Amino acid sequence: MKNNSVFLLMIISLMGMSAFVAVLCQGAELRRNFYEKSCPMVEHVAQSITWKRVAANSTLPAKFLRMHFHDCFVRGCDASVLLDSTPNNSAEKDAIPNQSLAGFDVIDEIKSQLEKTCPGVVSCADILALAARDSVSFQFGRPLWEVPKGRRDGSISSASEALANIPSPFFNFTTLKQSFANKSLTVQDLVVLSGGHTIGVGHCNFFSNRLYNFTGKGDADPSLNPTYAAFLKTKCQSLSDNTTSVEMDPESSLSFDNHYFSTLKQNKGLFQSDAALLTDHGSSNVVDEMLDPKSFFAEFKRSMERMGAIEVLTGSSGEIRKKCNVINS
């Protein structure tokens, strides 16, 4: 045993403590300064293009946040959500949960610019992680969380895998908890990341059953605030409406803040998955904690960094795509 301990210490000494820890921890191969020598302008380029685009289109932060989330929950954060379908394969972006995603052209602009300055170096997966962070951070004029880099791009993208892995707005708490646990995320992460619903919109077909046919008997969800339900019925006038969209956080859908949680406490969560956070004692306690803005921003930073490290490809795994929508030939 003593000899084994000495041998282990020798390995640690040779490898360096940071490298040793990296072997042990998921996502630890990612580093803040990964491109320091190979492409030092990566953060500046990504931020300047993203901020320029967000200044012209205030809906982009919600779209990039959702795109990053949906990417990481399917095969990890490998930019598989950016790949186009082919004649022989239906890709993630064509799965129902992803058909309303937008902002792919911004990712392409960032990639194109980086390919001019440091070709074949920066992954699309890192670009997407940066675009999500920078778009949400635009209103504050500073980064809200760190984006360690070094992700590589995957070569597989499947619409069926997207359907199987992306948490559904119809999930109850038990299913949500398991969905996040499958990605090594906690109930804390589940509640905190749901706070991302403070920006963006939801389409009627993902919640209108709560208004018109919750249990299959033409009834409404009793957990939904009746005044809010009446308002939603003026927007979504039938179960068949799949085009109308509604703010997920009324009166705050373009401002990233913790307003979602006070709305949720009033039983005005738009989706069944939002309302589900109040049905468990532990998650409900986290909702209460997130009513404090300082706590929310601190926890959102931690949870985004954890989510951004899900099942990442690093080292020699995957590839660095030349174009984000197609794998290298």
Per-residue model confidence (pLDDT) at position 27: 57
70 is catalytic: yes
pLDDT (tens digit per residue) in 223-256: 999 999 999 999 999 999 989 999 999 888 899 9
pLDDT (tens digit per residue) in 248-298: 998 888 999 999 999 999 999 999 999 999 999 999 999 999 999 999 999
| Catalytic option among 44, 68, 70, 259 | 70
CA 313 to chain centre: 17
Per-residue model confidence (pLDDT) at position 252: 84
Whose tokens are 């210490």? That residue is 9
Per-residue model confidence (pLDDT) at position 111: 98
Whose tokens are 């999500």? That residue is 132
**Average confidence (pLDDT) per 10 residues, the chain, 329 residues:** 42 39 54 97 98 97 98 98 97 96 97 97 98 98 97 98 97 98 98 97 95 92 96 94 93 92 97 98 98 98 98 97 96
Per-residue model confidence (pLDDT) at position 11: 39
Q: What is the dihedral of CA 277, 281, 282, 284, to 10 degrees?
A: 40
Question: 3-state class of 215 per DSSP?
Answer: coil
Per-residue model confidence (pLDDT) at position 1: 44
Question: 3-state class of 214 per DSSP?
Answer: coil
Question: 3-state class of 320 per DSSP?
Answer: coil
Per-residue model confidence (pLDDT) at position 329: 87
Distance CA 6, CA 205 (A): 62
Extract the runs of DSSP E, i.e. beta strands, from 155-267.
201-203, 245-247
Global pTM reads 0.90
Distance CA 160, CA 247 (A): 28
